[in-house]
Amino acid sequence: MKTKLFSYNYENTPIHNLSGLIKFICFLLLTFATMYTYDIRVILGMLVFSLIILRISKIKFSQIKVMLIYVLIFILINAIFTFFFAPEHGTTLYNTRNPIMKLWGNFELTQEQLLYQVTLAFKYLSVVPLGIIFLLTTNPSEFASSVTAVGVPYKASFAISLTLRYFPDILRVYNDISQAQQARGLEMSGKAKMKERVKNSLMIIIPLIFSTLERIEVVTNAMDLRGFGKEKRRTWYCVQKLRPADYYALAVSIVAVLIVASVAYFLNHGRYFNPFI
Amino acid sequence: MVPQQTPIIDFDHFTFQYYSQAEPTLRDINLKIYAGEKILIVGPSGSGKSTLGHCLNGLIPFYYKGNLEGSLKINGTETRDLDIFKLSKIIGTVLQDSDGQFVGLTVGEDIAFAMENDCVPQAEMHDRVDRVAKMVDIAHVKNLSPYELSGGQKQRTALAGVLIDDVDILLFDEPLANLDPATGKTAIEIIDDIHKQMGKTIIIIEHRLEDVLHRDVDRVIVINDGCIIADMSAHDLVSSDVLKENGIREPLYVTALKYANIHVTPQMKPGHIWSLDTNAVNEALRSWNRSVKTPLEAPPRPPLLTIDHLSFSYDGVRPTLSDINFEIREGEMVSIVGKNGAGKSTLAKLMCGFEKVDKGAILYKGQDIHKQSIKERAEFIGFVMQNPNQMISKNLIFDEVALGLRLRGVNEEEIKDRVEKVLDICGLSPFIEWPISALSYGQKKRVTIASILVLRPNILILDEPTAGQDYRHYSEIMEFLRQINETGVSIILITHDMHLMLEYTPRAIVLSEGQQIADTLASVVLTDPQTIAAANLKETSLYHLAQLAGIPDGTQFVQHFIDYERVAGQ
């Protein structure tokens, strides 16, 4: 079904079976490692690693296609802006200047800038699969309990997990409303002018907000009646006990961080890999 | 039940007024309920029965604020000295919308929710969940998502979620509102089993009297205008005029007895169809049955809409609809019935062009309409969603109804003319300058119907137009649709409502798992066991009445009831 596009679905894979808390910590560790290093070799290694995990967790391409397109567009726009705002950033970083070709005006493409931007793009590209894996393989309730375990107030994490859970519902209601309004003559395609389309989308969003509010009132009543928010803390029914696999996963992530750190410390003497000297 | 010395619930000159209201919603309520009793509270919408429930479970004054006077004691303690959390340990509430109240992602987690909030250790939670799940017979679905369950299992899950606290009192707030007839019947049976096995005090707030009386209750309390009107046994209530005077529908079999000119007395035990004793009146029923004349059938009008060998699938693998064939004639009023997921809504979407037909065709006046856009089809097929709040996007009634015309670029003068005419038909002219937020639910429903009618469609499709409505609003909406129908508009109703089928649509189309399993008279659909099971309906009590009276052709008896009512109604 369409509404199952971007939501948690249980599959029996080693990744799904990991505890939510461990998955969250591993996600943070690996993301930190990837964001820290500017060594293209390490980053490519990370990318390959996260693609393997993606494969193991049996996430289908169709599930993440839309998301991926947005990410690619983001990376592209980001790259263009980075180049226009700081075309010489690479040369200051690496302290050398090897021009490749003259573009226009004062803009010149250098090997340093190219390396820097390619590194940056791959950095984003290898973090995204990690996020996708975490979101799509973690039961929203376990997500809430694991975020709470690292210090977020449980009311906040519960709100996030409820939002994640109701998102597909809201999407469905949006579609229903949109269709009914189109039947009344609403034009949502490219045929309408931009100003018209913004005005028209209000005709869908206003009813959507009101019906969502109705829904929220029902859920909050149900939660109040069953004692939500009574105590400063709460326990969780579906927190898993840690299993050997959880420790292995944690160990792998820590090793990954250590590798990144040692490459930086011993090989590169810093965050950047500099092949130009 | 033998009344004990101290009541478990004791209203004493209790009055409640919401801060937002000018008048009290509950006035001088005096009511005692004893431990182990099973009480049904009935009343029309706005009577104050839900407010009474909120006072019991603590949503008033915890969530909805207002002014309390008099006394309400539960287990001997004034409720104003308790809070919603303490009350929730004494009274467990099952809300009407079982879909909306699930907070857990699995059945087990949802049952455990109250314990999580009490900081119960995990191992104990699992133990207690297992025990309660076994008790209400859902242990085998413990790891499924609540949304994957059948209607009956959802009810059991919601019940388990409150039973986990070992409460003394169970409060059911309109448990039948969103259920199809078969699931509603199961829900009443589950509640009754819990009452019998565990001896809990049960309070059911509902307006669908006959459906609750499928099983025994100790007392029925009638509320209207914030006051208690009656407090009596089901037999006494059904024999009295209280139901009629307070806008509550009497059981259908009682209506049939009255049509046959039979005086209904408490001695006949008419509170439940299974307790009804008709021995003294069988002859009267049989002779009435013989006397009803079948009206002459009008010659068939030409077909307006033809569904021709239509098939459709969302994913290209699993068919959602396969080989559907029927015709909608000019000026007809037809029901489409079937379980949730049988394909009813999909069929409506295909007719409106929201989805594209895979195989077969939809013909309007003989022309295939597959090339026509949603907007073009809206000129002859109008679609009204179930929840009016999902359609309304303007502040003023006039603007809301005019919307479809303005989007089509009709000039303001003509818009004014057409909107005024439609509002007049819909009985909304007095409110033309009103903000929509000031209208009742039923009036909002009319606004949405008006906003579709203004486009002058020949066919109107309505999704569950009467869901959750009490008898008065039901009659209002349906009589209004009948008037629209009499102006020549064909009406298709997607519904679970068996009264609606009996009283308003002579013909019903039944879908089951994407197949069309019947296209026949409503009286046949409601008396054929196979169709009833496939569509999650239940046998109408009229059929049982026919059996009791020794009338062999029950289906014909039901048809006679429909025919009689149609003549009597005009």
pLDDT of residue A182: 87
Interchain CB distance below 8 Å, B404 and A184: yes
CA closest to A177 among chain B residues: B390
Please list, residue by residue across B70-81, b when 16 or more beta carbons sit within 10 angstroms of its beta carbon and e when fewer do: eebbbbeeebee
* Joined tokens for residue A117: 């931007």
Whether the Cβ atoms of residue B109 and residue B142 lie closer than 8 Å to each other: no
* Location of structure tokens 């004793």: B277
CB neighbour list of residue A273: distance below 8 Å, 6 or more residues apart: A38, A39, A40, A41, A42, A119, A267
Peptide bond between residue B61 and the one before it cis (omega within 30 degrees of 0) = yes
CB neighbour list of residue A195: distance below 8 Å, 6 or more residues apart: none
DSSP per-residue string spanning B12-78 = EEEEEEETT-SS-SEEEEEEEE-TT-EEEEE--TTSSHHHHHHHHHTHHHHTS-EEEEEEEEETTEE
In 3D, which of B478, B435, B476 has the Cα closest to residue B45? B476
| pLDDT above 50 for A95 | yes
pLDDT of residue A3: 36
Pairing outcome for strands B66-74 and B77-78: antiparallel
Query: Which residues of chain B are within 8 Å of residue A228 when distances are taken between CB atoms?
Result: 103, 113, 117
Whether the Cβ atoms of residue B177 and residue B468 lie closer than 8 Å to each other: yes
* Joined tokens for residue A73: 């567009």
Q: How far is B213 from chain A (nearest CA, A)?
A: 27
pLDDT in tens, A101-155: 888 777 888 999 999 999 999 999 999 889 888 888 887 778 788 888 888 888 8
CATH no. of B9-245: 3.40.50.300
Starting at the edge strand found earlier in the chain, the sheet holding B381-384 runs B381-384, B459-463, B490-494, B333-337, B507-512, B515-521
Which of B119, B161, B390 lies nearest to residue A234, judging by beta carbons? B119
Note the maximum CA span of chain B: 75
How far apart, in whole angstroms, are the C-alpha atoms of residue B120 and residue B563? Answer: 60
Interchain CB distance below 8 Å, A221 and B314: no
DSSP letter for B4, please: -
Whether the Cβ atoms of residue B151 and residue B179 lie closer than 8 Å to each other: yes
How far apart, in whole angstroms, are the C-alpha atoms of residue B152 and residue B340? Answer: 13
Whether the Cβ atoms of residue B377 and residue A172 lie closer than 8 Å to each other: no
The answer, for B103 touching chain A at a CB cutoff of 8 Å, is yes
Interchain CB distance below 8 Å, A237 and B389: no
Which of B122, B353, B354 lies nearest to residue A237, judging by beta carbons? B122
- Interface mutation vs chain B, best among A201, A226, A231, A233, most B CBs within 10 Å: A226
How far apart, in whole angstroms, are the C-alpha atoms of residue A128 and residue A35? Answer: 11
Whether the Cβ atoms of residue B247 and residue B470 lie closer than 8 Å to each other: yes
The answer, for B65 touching chain A at a CB cutoff of 8 Å, is no
Starting at the edge strand found earlier in the chain, the sheet holding B9-18 runs B26-33, B9-18, B66-74, B77-78
Task: Please state, in angstroms and as integers, the Cα–Cα distance from residue B367 to each residue in A9, B301, B308, B376, following that order.
Answer: 44, 17, 12, 14
CA closest to A233 among chain B residues: B119
- Interface mutation vs chain B, best among A237, A239, A240, most B CBs within 10 Å: A237
For residue B409, give the 3-state DSSP assignment: coil
* Location of structure tokens 């002014």: B67
The total of other beta-carbon atoms located within 10 Å of residue A248's CB is 13
* Joined tokens for residue B54: 């909120």
How far apart, in whole angstroms, are the C-alpha atoms of residue B498 and residue B541? Answer: 11
CA closest to A184 among chain B residues: B404
Whether the Cβ atoms of residue A41 and residue A49 lie closer than 8 Å to each other: no
Interchain CB distance below 8 Å, B112 and A181: no
* Joined tokens for residue A108: 């010149």
Comparing A29-38, A198-207, B110-119, B545-554, the range with the smallest average pLDDT is A198-207
Rounding to the nearest 10 degrees, give the CA dihedral for residues A259, A264, A268, A270: 180
Query: Which residues of chain B are within 8 Å of residue A17 when distances are taken between CB atoms?
Result: none
Task: Please state, in angstroms and as integers, the Cα–Cα distance from residue B101 to each residue in A211, A216, A251, B97, B169, following that order.
Answer: 15, 10, 40, 7, 19
* Joined tokens for residue B482: 């009948």
Interchain CB distance below 8 Å, A231 and B104: no
Q: Is B229 exposed, middle or buried (0-12, 13-18, 19+ CB in 10 A)?
A: middle
Which of B114, B129, B315 lies nearest to residue A227, judging by beta carbons? B114
Instruction: Specify the pTM.
Output: 0.83
* Location of structure tokens 């010395």: B5
How far apart, in whole angstroms, are the C-alpha atoms of residue B449 and residue A206? Answer: 19
Size of interface A-B (CB pairs under 8 A): 154
In 3D, which of B385, B449, B450, B460 has the Cα closest to residue B418? B450
The answer, for B351 touching chain A at a CB cutoff of 8 Å, is no
How far apart, in whole angstroms, are the C-alpha atoms of residue B13 and residue B496? Answer: 40
- On whether ipTM exceeds 0.95, the answer is no
Whether the Cβ atoms of residue B59 and residue B52 lie closer than 8 Å to each other: no
Pairing outcome for strands B201-205 and B219-224: unpaired
For residue A160, give the 3-state DSSP assignment: helix
Average pLDDT, chain A: 85
CATH 3.40.50.300 in chain B: give the residue spans. 9-245, 303-380+457-539
Tens-digit pLDDT string for chain B (570 aa): 555 578 999 999 999 999 988 899 999 999 999 999 999 999 998 899 999 999 999 999 888 899 999 999 999 999 988 889 999 999 999 987 667 778 888 899 999 999 999 999 999 999 999 999 998 889 999 888 887 888 888 888 999 999 998 899 999 998 888 788 998 999 999 999 999 999 999 999 999 999 999 999 999 999 999 999 999 999 999 999 999 999 999 999 999 999 999 999 999 999 999 999 999 999 999 999 999 988 777 788 899 999 999 999 988 888 999 999 999 999 999 999 998 888 999 999 999 999 999 999 999 999 999 989 888 898 899 999 988 888 888 889 999 999 999 988 899 999 999 999 999 888 888 888 888 888 877 788 889 999 999 999 999 999 998 887 889 888 888 998 999 999 899 999 999 899 999 999 999 999 999 999 999 999 999 999 999 999 999 999 999 999 999 999 999 999 999 999 888 765
Query: Which residues of chain A are within 8 Å of residue B392 when distances are taken between CB atoms?
Result: 207, 210
CA closest to A162 among chain B residues: B103
Interchain CB distance below 8 Å, B117 and A233: no
Q: Give B235-244's long-range contacts (Cβ < 8 A, gap of 24+).
A: B235/B266, B235/B268, B235/B269, B235/B270, B235/B271, B235/B275, B236/B266, B237/B271, B238/B264, B238/B270, B238/B271, B239/B264, B239/B265, B239/B266, B239/B268, B239/B270, B243/B209
Whether the Cβ atoms of residue B444 and residue B395 lie closer than 8 Å to each other: no
- Averaged pLDDT for residues A167-179: 84
- CATH fold of B303-380+457-539 reads Rossmann fold (3.40.50)
Q: Give B444-447's long-range contacts (Cβ < 8 A, gap of 24+).
A: B444/B388, B444/B389, B444/B392, B445/B388, B445/B477, B446/B477, B446/B480, B447/B388, B447/B392, B447/B397, B447/B400, B447/B401
In 3D, which of A2, A1, A17 has the Cα closest to residue A58? A17
CB neighbour list of residue B526: distance below 8 Å, 6 or more residues apart: B498, B501, B502, B532, B537, B539, B540, B543, B558
Whether the Cβ atoms of residue A119 and residue A90 lie closer than 8 Å to each other: no
CB neighbour list of residue B380: distance below 8 Å, 6 or more residues apart: B364, B457, B458, B459
How far apart, in whole angstroms, are the C-alpha atoms of residue A166 and residue B146? Answer: 13
